[in-house]
């Protein structure tokens, strides 16, 4: 077999592998840039909503469907004792617990409003639900609109019982409304951190800041450049053997 032919074949394989690696690395870098831009858009939207201040929530405002995620709203109403959901697998200060989703009734609204009142700790074993004391009397709720994000992967479909309180894996307002006939508004409200009712609350606008994604993009692009440089150096140093025949 010709050593030159073998060398050319190895160089060709290395070229194909290098090109594929560079394409993948560049795509990963571009994906991180897109993610960074998405996060920046979310931050900008939140800042814009914050600058406008809270709107008084009314049924006509809800029916107009003009409210968007992060819009600030305020409404007066009451929570009924024991009428809440416990959103599972929520972390606060390194501890596992639940988010308490209370159901607010208000004379301003013909539907119930799901309000995330914050985090409570797991009481011990998962067999026992925490006994949550809901805010008493008429309260003023100030918070930001939260539409459910894309449905996460669940091992099985959620089913909701007729009684409350109950533990849930994801706040599927439409499914809850359909199965329990609670007549819920199609979004929830995250109770503002400055309110003196509710439980531990910390609502980050985004989990990962845009600059982190841009930094990851630079790393992916750097790896693509490194792969190209290594291939070029290896190609130049490849031994040039004379063709020999048997």
Q: Read off the pLDDT of residues 53-107 as tens digits, 9 standing for 90 and up.
A: 788 999 888 988 788 888 999 999 999 888 999 999 899 988 999 999 999 999 9
So what's the pLDDT on residue 179? 86
Averaged pLDDT for residues 141-156: 77
So what's the pLDDT on residue 24? 94
* Burial of 29 (C-beta count, 10 Å sphere; 0-12/13-18/19+): buried
Place of tokens 């031994």: 239
So what's the pLDDT on residue 4? 52
Please tell me the distance from the alpha carbon of residue 230 to that of residue 83, in angstroms, as a whole number: 63
Between residues 231 and 155, the one the model is more confident about: 231
Mean pLDDT of the chain: 85
For residue 46, pLDDT beyond 80: no
For residue 10, pLDDT beyond 80: no
Please tell me the distance from the alpha carbon of residue 174 to that of residue 150, in angstroms, as a whole number: 13
Residue 226's pLDDT band, with cuts at 50, 70 and 90, is very high
Q: Which of 31-35, 81-85, 154-158, 229-233 has the lowest mean pLDDT?
A: 154-158
So what's the pLDDT on residue 244? 45
For residue 148, pLDDT beyond 80: no
């Amino acid at each position: 077999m010709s050593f030159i032919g073998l060398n050319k074949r190895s160089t060709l394989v290395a070229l194909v592998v290098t090109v594929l690696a560079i394409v993948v690395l560049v795509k990963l870098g571009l994906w991180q840039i897109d993610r960074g831009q998405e996060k920046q858009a979310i931050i900008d939207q939140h800042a814009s909503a914050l600058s406008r201040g809270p709107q008084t929530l009314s049924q006509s405002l809800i029916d107009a469907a003009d409210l968007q995620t992060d819009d600030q709203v305020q409404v007066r109403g009451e929570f009924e004792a024991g009428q809440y959901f416990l959103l599972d697998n929520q972390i606060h200060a390194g501890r596992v617990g639940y988010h308490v989703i209370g159901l607010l009734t208000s004379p301003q609204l013909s539907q119930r409003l799901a309000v995330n009142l914050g985090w409570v700790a797991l009481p011990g074993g998962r067999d026992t639900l925490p006994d949550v004391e809901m805010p008493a009397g008429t309260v003023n709720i100030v918070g930001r609109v939260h539409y459910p994000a894309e449905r996460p992967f669940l091992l099985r479909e959620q089913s909701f019982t007729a009684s409350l309180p109950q533990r849930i894996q994801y706040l599927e307002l439409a499914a809850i409304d359909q199965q329990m006939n609670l007549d819920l508004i199609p979004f929830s409200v995250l109770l503002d951190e400055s309110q003196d009712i509710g439980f531990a609350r910390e609502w980050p606008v985004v989990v990962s800041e845009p600059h982190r994604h841009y930094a990851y993009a630079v790393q992916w692009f750097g790896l693509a450049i490194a792969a190209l440089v290594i291939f070029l150096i290896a190609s130049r140093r490849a031994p040039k053997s004379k063709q020999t025949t048997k």
